[in-house]
Amino acid sequence: MKQLIFLFATAIFFLACNGDKPDATNTTAPAPPPPPSGTYQTIQDFKAKAEKPDITIQIDGLNQQGFVFLVGSFLDQNYKADSAKIEAGGKMRFKRDEPYFPGLMYLMLPDGNNFQVLVDLDQTFSMKTKADNLIGAMEVQGSLDNELLYQTFRFEDSQRQAFAQNAARMKANPVGTPGHLEAKAEQDKLLDERIAYLNKIFQEHPNSLFTKFKKAGQNPDVRDAFRADGTMDTLRYGYLYRTRFWNDVDFNDERLLYTPVINNKLKRYINELTPQNPDSIVQASIYLVDQTIGKPEFFKYFANWIVLNYDPKTSTLMDPQAVFVNMIERYFTYERAFWSDSVEVFGLQQRAYEMSASLVGKKGPDVQAPDPSGKIRSIYEMKAPYIIVFMWNPDCEHCAEQTPKLVQNYTNWKNQGIDVFGIAVNTEDAKWKSTIQKYGMPWVNVFDPTNKAIYAKYYVDNTPEIYVLNPDRKIIAKNLQADQIMTVIDRDRNKR
């Protein structure tokens, strides 16, 4: 799967999305690949148009020696873009012939402190500040993006105390009381002021990197999910938050891929805002990825990230195969997966096909294979309402842990209408039969050394693999431990 790399929220005051914050890890990762070639907004002819960097930074009162680093962002990695020596008086200069990639960078000081620097076509500018007030004292010359960035930092800081005070008042007064409603009205007023401040910048500088970056990092305004008495319509809040989450992200602007905002939003959207069940993840993924069709770099990153995040070999989701299959079938086609060759696409499609018949919610396929006496046995000939399909290997350590538990519970399960159909995989006939005797496995056991009996029926990448079929012979659970089986069956019984 390494080839793929080529490739409900509680913030009700919407101060800012955490998508613009750095990830302190991976700062030694290699620089990103060169931007693709065409118009600048897609970073195609960026290097031909960008200025040669000459960035001067002055930090008054900086009593540190050594080197400072410019650390850039690309997708889910940080990389060291450049370094400069701290000169006398706290001066440092970054100058070279090769332009920096666009996006958000961090100037990392020797003591671990840092501040942000936006880099775009204009790469000749100066920044001056004080060591004891890096953000508040910042003065910028020659860079509109950084002027706007630090003006906005100061405006947001001027509101921060009032936001905190109103939040405390709202928490101290029960919802619906005059005190709560008054504090909420003040909070809404502050938020409206903030929105108006930003909208003015966005309208005056619609194509600036600051505007695209700042808009993308905002949390959605979902105040219309609150009732007149101040109570929240929780379902409406969650729905509006998720569906508006990407509204202000310009998927045509690839500069955003060189900031933390896209990766952080993607992780939050999929891992936190989306319920962690296959149906919800598939629905959310399609909603997002479909918006990026025709925006190749975003499309490639989102599709690959989601597939890797739910790779069945590493995911803890009960049925990650459902996410994997849907993503591969929909997006990793010969027409759409432009970053992969035909061999890679064929391999992924083949793997998805092998998983597709055994997804939770589908009717469990029948398996017909010989038992130790040579008699052909079938899942569908079994009469018990619930069938545990147990796929195992004699040499598997985890199988050695789980098999005795199944044997111990089998008699009790049998009396409750539960039976087991054991399928041995990747072994030899003699070893299979001797292991059955070793553990006293009392259920139906089958083994097909050719694997034809199970190919593309019940997918197994790690043994043991446990599937549970209900009376309709639908798969109601998979990837279970022995002690989880009764919970799943009891839940299904209670629904009937």
pLDDT digits (tens, 9 = 90+) for 348-404: 999 999 999 999 999 999 999 999 999 999 999 999 999 999 999 999 999 999 999
Q: Count of residues for the chain?
A: 496
**Range of lowest pLDDT (28-42, 93-107, 242-256, 459-473):** 28-42
* 294, burial (CB in 10 Å: exposed 0-12, middle 13-18, buried 19+): exposed
pLDDT digits (tens, 9 = 90+) for 220-267: 999 999 998 889 999 999 999 999 999 999 999 999 999 999 999 999
Q: What is the mean pLDDT of residues 178-202?
A: 95
pLDDT reported for residue 95: 96
Q: Identify the residue with better confidence: 12 or 94.
A: 94
Q: What is the mean pLDDT of residues 33-45?
A: 49
Q: What is the mean pLDDT of residues 35-63?
A: 74
Closest CA to 116 of 108, 129, 124, 106: 106
Closest CA to 250 of 196, 210, 305: 210
CB 465 within 8 A of CB 458: yes
3-state secondary structure of 452: coil
pLDDT reported for residue 31: 55
**Residue 15's pLDDT band (cuts 50, 70, 90):** very low
Closest CA to 260 of 475, 75, 485, 46: 75
Alpha carbons 347 and 361: distance in angstroms, whole number: 25
pLDDT reported for residue 28: 45
CB 109 within 8 A of CB 68: yes
Q: Identify the residue with better confidence: 42 or 460.
A: 460
Alpha carbons 303 and 285: distance in angstroms, whole number: 8
pLDDT reported for residue 12: 29
**Range of lowest pLDDT (148-157, 234-243, 307-316, 404-413):** 307-316
pTM of the shown model: 0.85
pLDDT reported for residue 327: 97
Main-chain dihedrals φ then ψ at residue 79, nearest 5 degrees: -145, 150
CA dihedral over 423, 425, 430, 434, signed as positive or negative:
negative
Say whether pLDDT at 332 is over 90: yes
Q: What is the mean pLDDT of residues 486-493?
A: 95
Alpha carbons 214 and 153: distance in angstroms, whole number: 11
The token pair that represents 283 in the structure block = 């629905």
CA distance between the termini of the chain = 40
Q: What is the mean pLDDT of the chain?
A: 90
CB 47 within 8 A of CB 276: no
**Range of lowest pLDDT (11-20, 74-83, 110-119):** 11-20
> Residue 362 is which amino acid?
K
pLDDT reported for residue 37: 34
The token pair that represents 53 in the structure block = 């960097």
3-state secondary structure of 469: strand
Tell me the β-bridge partners of 370: 376
The token pair that represents 23 in the structure block = 């990830």
Edge-to-edge order in the sheet of strand 465-469: 444-447, 418-424, 386-392, 465-469, 475-477
Closest CA to 357 of 264, 478, 217: 478
DSSP state of 269: I
CB 223 within 8 A of CB 188: yes
Say whether pLDDT at 179 is over 60: yes
Tell me the β-bridge partners of 93: 56
